[in-house]
Structure formats: structure tokens, C-alpha cells
Amino acid sequence: GLGDVYKRQESQAILLLGPTASGKTALALRLAEEIPSEIISIDSALVYRHMDIGTAKPTKEEMAAVPHHLINIIEPTECYSAADFAQDCVRLVEEIRNRGKVPLIVGGTMLYAKAVREGLSPLPATDPAVREKIGEELSAKGLPALYERLRAVDSKTADRLAPADTQRITRALEVFEMTGKPISELTAQKGEPLLRLSSYALLPPDRAVLHARIAERFKLMIKNGFLEEVKRLMAMPGMHDYLPSMRSVGYRQAWNYLSGLTTFDAFKEAGIAATRQLAKRQITWMRSMQETILLNPDEKDLSLDTLKKEAEQILSGLQN
């Protein structure tokens, strides 16, 4: 009805999500050839510099063909949160629209998508004094004691976390210390959507085909020098295997192999398995997203057509 037409004109940007190896990048680049647009990467691995091969970063040519944002913005020793992304994304959408172009937010990090689509939950930033206090308690009493204390104040979160997950257990206790509320209660509170987005999700119809593409791509990464890339990262000052950058799929597995903990074949299997797990989580998440139009990555022209119509709507809204 009329309401729908009006709502469509209201959209500020296109969000194109998809699992790893589903062809998001290629589709976005084809769209950018036809509609004046800029790409905002929504990907927690592409923010890191020096991590190019294992993240399947767009090529220099691809990045030159259309402006890309939020790629290569921090060092692998630094952290970048969903809140950081949300803030950067809102700013960039406005800047790109002011240039008379359509913002295309493209990638596969669902937590970032949730942040801009639903707003952020009101979690406090870490207080160094509180963090230190809990750090001291950790070294004095050990992790099992902290886990039990978390169970006492927030059993819901304790059930959800692995008893060995130091980072999340201590963070949950920090939040409780600072707010007097369980982290599970705070994260359940919804914020306001930060942007009006037209959301699309590339959903591969055939799991087996996606699995084959993932395996193929991982082997190609190895051939293209992925292990050399991880070797260089390991040699950088301040690098550890527990940093968020090294939680990017494939990197932890490569680190373990290069540290002599696993065989080459075990590394390859583990890397492919981890990538498949990621794709499975991404697909589950996309299926559960409200108000999202599902596209079949195999129907490339049809998908392009759908996105083009949406982009034209946004463009005409900019010109009025």
C-alpha cells in the first residue's frame, strides 16, 4: 500500500549481508558500477591492517574502483567493538549521502548489523579500577571461583559461557560491579535503530555447494601465502593468540600450526571447519532477522536487479 511506498523512500542505505564465500563483494561491486555509491564494510576482520589473505580482503583494484570504508583502519593489536562500528557507520552513511551517493553496507558480521539495526544495549564502558580489582581477584582465587560468583549473581550468563572463558566471565562480573545488574538483563534491553536500512541477505540455497566453495577458498588462501602472512603477524610486537584479531576465522588455527601444536593437515581441516561453523551461524542469524529480503546468490542478475531498484529509490530521495 501507500505506507510501504513511503517507507521505502525513507531508507537511508542498503544493508547487504551474507555468509563467508557467498559472493557479496562481487554483487556489491556490480551494483556500484551502475549506481553512484560507496561501500561501507561491515566485517570485523577487514578492519585490521596486515590481515589481507586470510580475510579475503577486496583487492587494491576493487577498492580503487569504488570507495570502500572501514577496511584497514586499526592494527591487529588493537580492538574495535560493535559500538565503534555503529558510530563509524552512522557518520559514514551521512557523509556518503551528502556526496549524493548511495551507502552500501556490505559484509557478514552479524553483531555489527544488529548494532545498527536495533541499536546498542546500554552496557557501560570498562572502568579500569573495576577491571583491576577483578583481575586481582582472578589471580588470588582463580577462574573457577569467579565463575561460581557469576553463577550466583547472573546464572543466565554463567549457563551461556564456557567455564574457561576468562574474558567474558570477567567482563560479566565487571558489568555487575558497575551497574548492580546482570549483563544478561542489560543486553536484553533494546536500543533504538540507529539507521533506516533496507536489509538484504544472500542465502545460499545449497549448503553442500557453499561448503565446497569454503574449502576451495581456504586452500587457495594457503596457496596465496596465508601462512607467511600469519608468520609476519606473530613476529609483530605485542601480538598474542588471544587478541580479538586472532579470533578471526583461520588465524588461530594457523597460529597453532606455526607454533608446532598441530600438523599441516589438521590445520587445514580445522580452518575449513571453523569457516563452515561461521557460515552456519551467519545463515542462522540472517534467517531470524526481521524485515530482511532474502536473495539467492546463484541468481546473480535477479539479485542485482532487486538491489538496483532499491538503490534507485534511495538515489531519487537524495535528489529531491
Q: What does each of the 320 residues of the chain score in pLDDT, given as a tens digit?
A: 455 555 544 899 999 999 998 999 999 999 999 999 999 999 999 999 999 999 999 999 999 999 999 999 999 999 999 999 999 999 999 999 999 999 999 999 999 999 999 988 777 777 888 888 999 999 999 999 999 999 999 999 999 998 988 989 999 999 998 888 888 888 777 678 899 999 999 999 999 999 999 999 999 999 999 999 999 999 999 999 989 999 999 999 999 999 999 999 999 999 999 999 999 999 999 999 999 999 999 999 999 999 999 999 999 999 87
Q: How is the beta sheet containing 197-202 ordered, strand by strand? A: 68-69, 37-42, 102-107, 13-17, 197-202, 292-295
Model pTM score? 0.81
Burial-class residue 110 by CB neighbours within 10 Å (0-12, 13-18, 19+).
buried
Q: Measure the CA–CA gap between 125 and 109, rounded to whole angstroms.
A: 21
